[in-house]
Structure 1
Amino acid sequence: MSAASSTPSGSRHRSRLHPSRPESALAGRWTEIDGLEVFYRESPSQPDAPAMMHVHGFGLSGRYLLPTAELLSDEFHTLVPDLPGFGRSQGASMGLDVPDLAHAAARFLDDRGVDRVTLVGNSMGCPVITEFARLHPDRLERAVLVSPAGGMYNQPLRRAVAQLTRDGPREPTRMVGVAVPDYLRFGVPSTLKMFRALTQYPSLERLLELEVPTLVVIGDRDPLMPPTRRVHEVASMTDTHVLLVGIRGAAHAINFSHPGELAHVIRQFMADEPITDDPDSPGLARVVEIHRGAHHPRAKGT
């Protein structure tokens, strides 16, 4: 496994998918993982900075995670890959399930020389993180789960589609130009296969097994999340290391719609500081503590 720095046999694949102009302040790069070409974005070299990798959701690439990732890139060695089979990265011929994606994430970190990491996931990225924690517990520093998806509340497929349909108008209109190309590239066969994999994955069980400091962030306008009563019920089942925070006004793609608010919360979580609202972030978002484990500092009311 080594970073691809020259033009390999897959150059036509790369030139076809590579954007004509930079999409981000983070550098867009390619590497090869287990024989697959993988596209990723990376912050400038910061050898002493702690590593933080952002993990995208169902059918999407890492592109919609960039608004939050960029805001954190001055403090963390930031990585935003397109997992194999998503975005510009090549996919395995047999497809991937949640454990495969977690394994691919670990292999990508190997390739980048990262031993320990904080993972920030959105939607499907959250089950990938919990599986990564099960497979590689010594490599996960902290977990940030934003709008976790893939549980019983998102089944069957027609319910998930209806939830996504309701979510669309609640997201910024510019999200359309980011998400639609990714969904079209992912395709219907991959959607059906990946959805079946998610329905078979024990999301709640893995969430409750997490043993690292964990931040869960949800939006109060997210139709893919269960009712507040169920969220509180799940929170009460967790150990003392889980901090559950709500952002008022946010829907499902918080990493894209409320990057300032989310980055602010993540910074405070990483520093073990009280969670407060970000006065510099425009909009209606407000951070409200829902559940905090005993090991975390007391949150300030907002």
Structure 2
Amino acid sequence: MTAGDWAVREVDVAGSPVAVRVGTDVPGSTPLVHVHGFAVSGRYLLPTAAALADRGTTYVPDLPGHGASPGPRPPLSIPHLAEALLGTLDALGLDRAVLVGNSMGGPVSLEAAHRSPDRVAGVVLASPAGGAHNQPLPRAVAQLLRDAVREDPRMGRYSLPDYAHYGPVAALAAFRQMVEFPSLERLLRTPVPTLAVVGSRDPLMPPPHRVRELAHLGPDHLTVVVVLGAAHAMNWSHPAELSHAVRCWLDGEPITDDPAARARTRVLQVGRGAPPAVAPA
């Protein structure tokens, strides 16, 4: 898919308009809903969303207050954004979906799954920030600055206008909320099949030994993999590696290195339980 292949719909969520990019319809499949990070729109998620668009009808919303969707200042909390995400599923007529969240989109997706596990067929967490590793706030800010120099600079044409539109004061408030959210605790108690994907060059993620520990502490339906060479915004920089891992996970297959990708996907743990119950494309 290319930029011109995405239709844009506006749906009403609790009285507010929410803009949603919609991919090609894939009849009989479980939809995939991609959830963006703090202070930005869903535009930077499109490379991975496009790579998975044949796997299920794909939706990329701008949550309230982000991108093309107006919202309150100060920004909504993560629990409120999770409610807005579930409201977006309602407005789109989606009974169940797989949520694919990056950065703050990870805890938002986890919170939605905890609130309505019957609505969420599975969760993919790409760089799920928030929690003890990012605390206190000055530590997280330093991690974010280190990550900035590791990202593909071409993403700036999307992220910088989004940050400017969101506003620096609101962005800092949203970042603080993400940092303070107990993402690890939510992840270790995830009620639905979950794939956590961590970049080896992401300063906001725990070091490798903690990632390995997480893989062993999690429930049977948690899968943890590492994308070597990826930083925080892997949905933009490493769509081939991320989408390959997601496809394998959705199909219940072992997640192995993708020979067609630039990096390698190293499996730390393959979930011992059943894969997500999703309809094939």
- Give me the TM-score of the superposition, normalised by structure 1: 0.86
Per-residue CA distance 1:74-117 (angstroms, 9 max, x = gap): 12110000100111110135631011000000110101100001
Question: Residues 149, 181 of structure 1: CA spacing in aligned structure 2 closer, same or farther, 3 A cutoff?
Answer: same
Q: Decide whether the 8 Å contact of 1:24 with 1:66 is kept in 2.
A: no
Q: Secondary structure at the match of 1:145?
A: strand
1:28-47 mapped onto 2 (5 Å cutoff):
28-47=8-27
CA distance in 2, matches of 1:105, 1:185: 21
Query: Where does residue 289 of structure 1 map in the other structure?
Result: 267
1:111-260 mapped onto 2 (5 Å cutoff):
111-260=91-240
CA distance in 2, matches of 1:103, 1:118: 16
Q: Secondary structure at the match of 1:193?
A: helix
Question: Structure 1: which 5+ runs fail to align?
Answer: 1-21, 298-302
| Count of residues in Structure 1 that have an aligned counterpart in Structure 2 | 274
Query: Where does residue 79 of structure 2 map in the other structure?
Result: 99
Residue 79 (structure 1) aligned to one of 59, 67, 71:
59
CA distance in 2, matches of 1:174, 1:198: 25
Q: Decide whether the 8 Å contact of 2:135 with 2:180 is kept in 1.
A: no
| Deviation of the 1:200 alpha carbon | 4.0
| Deviation of the 1:224 alpha carbon | 0.8
Q: Decide whether the 8 Å contact of 2:74 with 2:170 is kept in 1.
A: no
| Deviation of the 1:138 alpha carbon | 0.7
CA distance in 1, matches of 2:256, 2:5: 27
CA distance in 1, matches of 2:271, 2:53: 27
CA distance in 1, matches of 2:211, 2:3: 35
Matched, 1:274 2:254: yes
Per-residue CA distance 1:11-67 (angstroms, 9 max, x = gap): xxxxxxxxxxx8452212222211212111001233322111000111111001000
CA distance in 2, matches of 1:37, 1:180: 23
CA distance in 1, matches of 2:108, 2:205: 17
Q: Which moved more, 1:132-141 or 1:231-240?
A: 231-240
| Deviation of the 1:123 alpha carbon | 0.7
Higher relative contact order (CA 8 A, sep 6+): 2
CA distance in 2, matches of 1:156, 1:25: 42
User: What is the aligned-residue identity percentage?
Assistant: 50
Q: Secondary structure at the match of 1:53?
A: strand
Q: Decide whether the 8 Å contact of 1:71 with 1:259 is kept in 2.
A: yes
Larger radius of gyration: 1
Question: Structure 2: which 5+ runs fail to align?
Answer: 276-281
CA distance in 2, matches of 1:146, 1:236: 19
Query: Where does residue 110 of structure 1 map in the other structure?
Result: 90
CA distance in 2, matches of 1:131, 1:288: 27
CA distance in 1, matches of 2:153, 2:75: 31
| Deviation of the 1:296 alpha carbon | 6.3
CA distance in 1, matches of 2:136, 2:5: 38
Q: Decide whether the 8 Å contact of 1:25 with 1:70 is kept in 2.
A: no
CA distance in 2, matches of 1:134, 1:245: 22
Moved over 4 A (4+): none
Amino acid at match of 1:293: G
Give RMSD over aligned pairs.
1.7
| Deviation of the 1:289 alpha carbon | 0.7
CA distance in 2, matches of 1:200, 1:121: 18
Q: Decide whether the 8 Å contact of 1:240 with 1:293 is kept in 2.
A: yes
